[in-house]
Amino acid sequence: MVISNLWQNLTIKDETKENLIKDLSEGKVPQLPYFVVGLDDIKSQVQEKIEAIDGGRMVSNFIIARYGNGKTNLLKYLELFFENNAQVRVLYKRANIDQPDIGLFLLKEVQDHFTETLVSQVIALRSTYNFEVLTNGFPESFRSVEEFVNKLFAPTTSEEDIKRLIYLGTGRLYTKAEFGRFELEQLSNFERKEVLVIFLNILALSNIFLIFQIDELEKIYEKSKLRLNAFFTSYREIFDLFSFVKGHYLMCSQTDANSDPDFIRQLNEAFYTRIEPHILMLPNISGKEQISVLVSNLRKLFGLNKSTSEEEAIVKNLLKQKIGQNRDLIREATHLLNAIDKPSWNFLLDQYNLRKLYENTKNELEFEGLLRSLSTKFYDPLETYLEGSSLLENGSEIKSRDYQSFIDNVGNKVHYFILNENTTIDVIQYKVEDIFVAFQRDIIIYAPVKLELRNGMVVVENCNIEIVDIEPQELFILLNMYRDNFEHQAGLSKVIAAYTNDNL
């Protein structure tokens, strides 16, 4: 399959431009980014895999990057590029910490997006049904699911029963009674992986090819090392079935502090031997050429008039700073382009000679075990800070238990704190709606950076919502510093204000 114009800057939708500018200004990955800077070797390898998506076997890549260096940006760019492509469909999903079996995870994606397509294609293909074709020429390897597939394609199977059989295959229906209805034995989880192969081949015969994207595998690791090992084992089982699948592409990505794939080998040697040739290590944007392209793209997006010499001066400034993360680089480039002189909280820590105090406080809190389960401890030092900053006036109050919020009567806003990095968007949406119903005010959401909560993802009618990225532990450390060090409170007030975008 020939893919033209991949990696060129895409057209920005008018309805998304405002949120796109906000996200980039704050160093966030936009919901659908329209450009990818640098990564020429990575982009070449990904394009090669995509162009083989209609080939004789399934393909895969495992992407590793440090946090903030563009792995999600790469994935979401592909989602936008293929948005209106009927032949190639991109299914982006964050890893499910409660579902470490990748086969069942992929089946759920197929079920959610292609059940009706599968039903119509089964009906269309059953007059020429051939079990060998559906197993890509290896029928002996699929004898355990042959009876299930024969039932699926039987001329007498009704449209309603085809859908029920698809649900038996994906696991949505799973009881012995449901299988007994079709005189079938219950499917094991491994047999369901073989059913996944059949479903993907049905889609391929329909000229539909999928790019599965599973992002943020580190969340499974944070939940349990054993759980990620189970994920890798199921990934290996899927990988061993790739030769039976007619095309399609599986992309998985994980943030790693050291960008070192050796953690895969240590956790699951068998999986590592299979995936090692397909691991992509993402570097950060660096060098004059790449930073120049970034600055130029941002200038055009913001509609700014800058001379060549002004752009070159900005690039020179960015190079001099040696910024290590793409998200920080984009934020600083935005500030320079818009002539915003806004020192970071890290800069202010050094300016007020607070770096050593920060590290000491962090070490003490870690030693005492206070950096875990912050939801039970966060609001005490927050209250001290708010009292010292005169924000707890005119009836303002902290409602930590019910709303995880500070009700700000001075600014007429609600400050909502998310301290759990695994909070889902649905939960956040529900909580924000609940807060707005209760208090009828604009809302500031303090969200963990790793949630990658973007502008426009949480919407409540007649409510202005601002998102402030935080690392909950960092803010907790700063608040404790303020509470316990009266002589440094003046400087710490400025640090905390910078940390929270002048909202606290």
Comparing CA positions, the residue from 239, 210, 198, 226 lying closest to residue 62 is 239
What local confidence, expressed as pLDDT, does residue 257 receive? 60
Instruction: Using pLDDT thresholds of 50, 70 and 90, give the confidence band for residue 277.
Output: very high
What local confidence, expressed as pLDDT, does residue 33 receive? 84
Query: Of residues 350 and 257, which shows the higher confidence score?
Result: 350
Query: Of residues 409 and 16, which shows the higher confidence score?
Result: 409
What local confidence, expressed as pLDDT, does residue 342 receive? 76
- Residue 213: which H helix or E strand, with range? strand 209-215
228-232, 255-259, 427-431: range with lowest mean pLDDT: 255-259
What local confidence, expressed as pLDDT, does residue 316 receive? 93
pLDDT 10s digits, 50-65: 999 999 999 999 999 8
Query: Does the global pTM surpass 0.85?
Result: no
Instruction: Using pLDDT thresholds of 50, 70 and 90, give the confidence band for residue 223.
Output: confident
Query: Of residues 25 and 479, which shows the higher confidence score?
Result: 479
What local confidence, expressed as pLDDT, does residue 258 receive? 55
30 pLDDT higher than 90: no
For range 283-300, the mean pLDDT: 91
d(CA 491, CA 497): 10
Angle of CA points 175, 151, 176, to nearest 5°: 10
**Chain-wide mean pLDDT for the chain?**
91
Instruction: Using pLDDT thresholds of 50, 70 and 90, give the confidence band for residue 500.
Output: very high
What local confidence, expressed as pLDDT, does residue 399 receive? 86
For range 421-440, the mean pLDDT: 92
d(CA 191, CA 107): 12
Tell me the residue ranges of DSSP E strands in 365-473. Answer: 397-399, 405-408, 413-417, 442-448, 465-470
d(CA 293, CA 305): 16
